[in-house]
Amino acid sequence: MGDPKKPKKSYTTPRNPWDKVRLDSELQLIGTYGLKNKRELWKASTIISNIRRQARMLLGATAEAREQQEKNLINSLHKLGLLKEEQLNLDYILNLTVEDLLERRLQTMLWRKGLAKTVYEARQIVSHKKVLIGNSIVNRPGYLVPVKEEGLIKVNEH
């Protein structure tokens, strides 16, 4: 079963740790989205790879087994904002990138809305518990903001 104090990893590390092209692209993404470390980037890429793996499995499944699971996957990604209204099929799921997921983080949303001057300031505002979504304080910069909560984001100045 496993030790409860040591949960399983929520990310997978790259196979080749010293690939120059990958290292440069990771560093560029970390700077663009203001990530704390590469582990946050690896978590996002693992989430995307799991979603894409589900889509590939559904493409190979029979029509009866595929129908309901495909609908559930597409609806969950649409609610999260990863799929637009005109992109509601499995082909668009296979085209998802890490950048698509990083754009949905609370830290990035604050910066894009102009509630913070830089992405790093946005991270600091979130971690200092100054951000409200609806009536609740959110202090996780990596919180994936659903579409219905986008308009409810506000910064508490106290």
The domains of the chain, with CATH numbers, are 20-102 (no CATH), 106-155 (3.10.290.10)
Closest CA to 94 of 142, 67, 57: 57
44 and 98 in contact (C-beta within 8 Å)?
A: yes
| Residues contacting residue 91 through CB under 8 Å, at least 6 positions apart | none
Q: Tell me: the pLDDT tens digits for 114-147?
A: 999 999 999 999 999 999 999 999 999 999 999 9
Q: Tell me: the pLDDT tens digits for 69-82?
A: 999 999 999 999 99
Q: Tokens 């999260």 label which residue?
A: 80
When pLDDT is averaged across residues 15-35 and rounded to a whole number, the result is 97
Closest CA to 150 of 136, 133, 135: 133
